């Protein structure tokens, strides 16, 4: 969500600034891939511990998982800082805005040092049903980012570098808030004290059991999105700016819908051990109905207020006209996107991470890039082709996830 804030705040600086800030969104997600995968694995494992009444094991497990995330974040930060220029060229940066892109990316990348551990901590809290912690930690980080963006970009005139600096500080605030939620005395999770931080073989094996399938899924998504963004960048600076704006608006709902995935994962993990079929049937219906209601609300907002939303980011008539049309596609995609995330959470919760990894790899890493290239370049649909490919990908993942989740929860 922080990159969404950055994109909105720098939109007044011009099309190049929008492209420069938006370009780093996919490299950022690729760098976070290990910690995001670890976070999902932690949620599933903690949910199983919680459902199996193994409460005393949760805190030391979460401490050790957080230590792993911290080590991974530091290593990835150092590597990505060193290779940042190459990463941006690989992502499809244009010479027109390279200097702005590298300035923003090096600073914004600092935030990933803190987001990685924060993801794992909030993932553990989600596993025991405390989804509020993730929400409030992210809100605190976003509010900090907005306030500092206004100061650094407009008052001090730092431009995109100001946005990157604000993002870095927002990451610190997110981690501090997440850690504070996990330090409450007399709570299921209490990460106070120095004991329990040393890595143990038993906990590493628990993580390994879930991590591999989730990492393949997350990794394939990042590879596919990286190629997808590169193809979009090849269409030109204006088209890529439109793409970034629409993707940012799409990500607002996607981030919201990921909450359904986390909730479904935690609930499915708890119920799976109990083996109560009636409760599982109820989960199936809830995992369908609530995402559908949320998708309906967002679809109406995206379609009815498409022009107004795009105008928040740019007054360029070319961007507003094409962006308005694409945002209608975004609204329609809200339905398969929400359902896919909710049902994939169910599948991860019952241990079917490899199944999710397989269909995600095929759909995101292979089908979406190929269809994007064919529609955008071979058939000449340009940016519209990229978004039709995204719609196909989301629909494919929804069908695969729903088919298996229905079998698991209703049989």
| Greatest mean pLDDT range, 95-99, 230-234, 261-265, 295-299 | 295-299
Q: Is 307 helix (H, G, I), strand (E, B) or coil?
A: helix
pLDDT in tens, 223-273: 888 889 889 888 988 888 889 889 888 888 887 888 788 888 878 877 776
pLDDT in tens, 6-24: 666 677 777 777 777 878 8
Whole-structure pTM value: 0.77
Specify whether the CB–CB gap between 383 and 320 falls below 8 A: no
Tokens of 269: 């993990």
Distance CA 322, CA 329 (A): 11
Cα dist. 257→253, 292, 298 in Å?
A: 6, 10, 11
Please provide the average confidence, as pLDDT, over all residues in the chain.
87
pLDDT in tens, 316-341: 788 899 999 999 999 999 999 999 99
In angstroms, how far is CA 304 from the centroid of its own chain? Answer: 25
Distance CA 38, CA 207 (A): 8
Distance CA 205, CA 45 (A): 11
pLDDT in tens, 17-60: 777 787 887 788 888 889 999 998 998 899 888 877 788 889 99
Cα dist. 194→120, 182, 197, 344 in Å?
A: 18, 14, 7, 36
pLDDT score of 188 more than 90: no
Specify whether the CB–CB gap between 6 and 145 falls below 8 A: yes
pLDDT, residue 95, reads 80
pLDDT in tens, 117-144: 999 999 999 888 887 888 889 889 988 9
Cα dist. 272→216, 266, 287 in Å?
A: 23, 10, 15
Phi, psi of 95, deg, nearest 5: -60, -25
pLDDT, residue 74, reads 96
Q: How many CB atoms lie within 10 A of CB 255?
A: 12
Tokens of 374: 């064919």
Nearest to 281 by CA among 129, 404, 184, 410: 410
Mean pLDDT, range 349-366, rounded to an integer: 87
Distance CA 356, CA 301 (A): 30
pLDDT score of 345 more than 90: no
Its sign, for the CA torsion 101, 389, 224, 379, is negative
Specify whether the CB–CB gap between 15 and 30 falls below 8 A: no
In angstroms, how far is CA 340 from the centroid of its own chain? Answer: 14
Cα dist. 310→71, 303, 320, 362 in Å?
A: 39, 11, 6, 32
Distance CA 190, CA 182 (A): 5
Distance CA 249, CA 244 (A): 9
């Amino acid at each position: 969500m922080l990159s969404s804030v950055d994109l909105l705040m720098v939109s007044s600086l011009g099309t190049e600034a929008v492209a420069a800030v938006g370009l780093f969104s996919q490299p950022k997600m690729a760098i976070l891939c290990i910690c995001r995968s670890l976070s999902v694995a932690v949620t599933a494992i903690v949910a199983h511990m919680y459902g199996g009444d193994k409460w005393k094991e949760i805190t030391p497990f979460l401490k050790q998982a957080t230590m792993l995330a911290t080590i991974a974040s530091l290593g990835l930060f150092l590597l990505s800082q060193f290779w940042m220029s190459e990463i941006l060229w690989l992502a499809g940066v244009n010479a027109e805005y390279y200097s702005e892109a590298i300035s923003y990316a090096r600073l914004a990348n600092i935030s990933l040092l803190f987001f990685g551990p924060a993801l794992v901590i909030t993932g553990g809290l989600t596993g025991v049903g405390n989804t509020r912690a993730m929400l409030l930690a992210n809100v605190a980080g976003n509010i900090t980012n907005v306030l500092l963006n206004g100061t650094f970009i407009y008052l001090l005139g730092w431009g995109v570098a100001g946005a990157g600096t604000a993002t870095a500080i927002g990451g610190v605030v997110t981690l501090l808030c997440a850690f504070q939620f996990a330090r409450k005395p007399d709570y299921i999770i209490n990460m106070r004290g120095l004991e329990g931080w040393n890595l143990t073989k038993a906990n590493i094996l628990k993580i390994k059991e879930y991590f591999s399938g989730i990492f393949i899924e997350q990794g394939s998504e990042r590879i596919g999105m990286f190629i997808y963004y590169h193809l979009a960048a090849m269409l030109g600076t204006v088209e890529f700016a439109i793409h970034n704006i629409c993707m940012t608006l799409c990500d607002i709902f996607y981030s919201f819908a990921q909450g359904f995935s986390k909730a479904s994962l935690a609930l499915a993990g708890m119920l799976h051990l109990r083996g109560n079929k009636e409760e599982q049937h109820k989960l199936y219906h809830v995992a369908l109905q609530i995402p559908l209601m949320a998708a309906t609300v967002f679809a109406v907002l995206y379609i009815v207020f498409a022009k107004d939303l795009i105008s928040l980011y740019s007054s360029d008539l070319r961007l507003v006209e094409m962006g308005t049309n694409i945002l209608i596609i975004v609204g329609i995609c809200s339905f398969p996107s929400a359902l896919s995330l909710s049902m994939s959470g169910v599948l991860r919760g019952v241990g079917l991470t490899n199944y999710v990894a397989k269909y995600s790899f095929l759909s995101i890493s292979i089908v979406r890039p190929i269809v994007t290239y064919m529609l955008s370049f071979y058939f000449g649909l340009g940016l519209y082709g990229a978004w039709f490919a995204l719609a196909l990908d989301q629909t494919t993942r929804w069908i695969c996830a729903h088919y298996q989740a229905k079998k698991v929860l209703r049989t």
